[in-house]
């Protein structure tokens, strides 16, 4: 989806009001270095999450919008669902931005490519299946003697060092 550039509160309210979906607003400034650094991440997210409104607001051009959302640092990302602010990120933290878009959109990029139960490599049983091991997916059959030996070696070395 394309990124909308908003210059007034009326424009933003019109965009949010007509669609009840998640809107992510990037409050930025042309002189802000961190804003420029995170811009490619915001652009990529807008292409990956087509069901989300992505909006950019230049705080110098749309001061009323920045004031409404109490923007005090740049970049600031405000997440709005319906008409409610559900999350805010201050600073250029791309990992948090990406995970928050995924969380609040209810969408997972790539999930459609990996739908289904999945299978364990080698034996063809489904992930989480207890068909191959009656003790369940968290058993330590073959690994237990190795783990016990390593613990014993650690204790021995700690006692005689």
84 located within any domain: yes
103 located within any domain: yes
Residue 119 forms beta bridges with which residues? 126
pTM value is 0.65
Identify the domain containing residue 62 by its residue range.
3-108
132 located within any domain: no
pLDDT at position 128 over 80: no
Question: Residue 14 maps to which CATH number?
Answer: 3.40.30.10
Please write the tens of the pLDDT for every residue from 5-52.
989 999 988 888 766 689 999 999 999 999 999 999 999 999 999 889
- Predicted confidence at residue 54, as pLDDT, reads 94
- Residue 110's pLDDT band (cuts 50, 70, 90): very low
29 located within any domain: yes
34 located within any domain: yes
Pairing of strands 76-81, 84-90: antiparallel
pLDDT at position 78 over 50: yes
Q: Distance between CA atoms of 80 and 85, rounded to whole angstroms? A: 4
- Predicted confidence at residue 156, as pLDDT, reads 87
In the set 6, 24, 25, 32, the catalytic residue is 32
Residue 26 forms beta bridges with which residues? 56, 77
123 is catalytic: no
**Residue 121 φ/ψ region, left for φ over 0, alpha for ψ in the -120 to 50 degree band, beta for the rest:** beta
Q: What DSSP state is assigned to residue 110?
A: T
In the set 16, 22, 35, 80, the catalytic residue is 35
140 located within any domain: no
Number of domains comprising the chain: 1
97 is catalytic: no
pLDDT at position 111 over 50: no
127 located within any domain: no
């Amino acid at each position: 989806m394309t990124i909308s550039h908003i210059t007034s509160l009326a424009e933003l309210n019109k965009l949010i009001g007509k669609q009840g979906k998640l809107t992510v607003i990037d409050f930025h400034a042309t002189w802000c270095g961190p804003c420029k650094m995170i811009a490619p991440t915001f652009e990529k997210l807008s292409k990956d999450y087509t069901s989300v409104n992505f909006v950019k607001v230049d705080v110098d051009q749309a001061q009323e919008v920045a004031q409404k959302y109490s923007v005090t640092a740049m970049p600031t990302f405000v997440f709005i669902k319906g008409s409610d602010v559900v999350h805010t990120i201050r600073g250029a933290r791309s990992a948090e931005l990406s995970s928050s878009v995924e969380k609040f959109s209810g969408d997972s990029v790539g999930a459609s490519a990996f739908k289904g139960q999945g299978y364990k490599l080698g034996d063809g049983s489904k992930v989480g299946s207890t068909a191959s091991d009656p003790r369940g997916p968290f058993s330590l059959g073959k690994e237990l003697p190795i783990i016990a030996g390593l613990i014993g070696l650690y204790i021995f070395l700690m006692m005689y060092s």
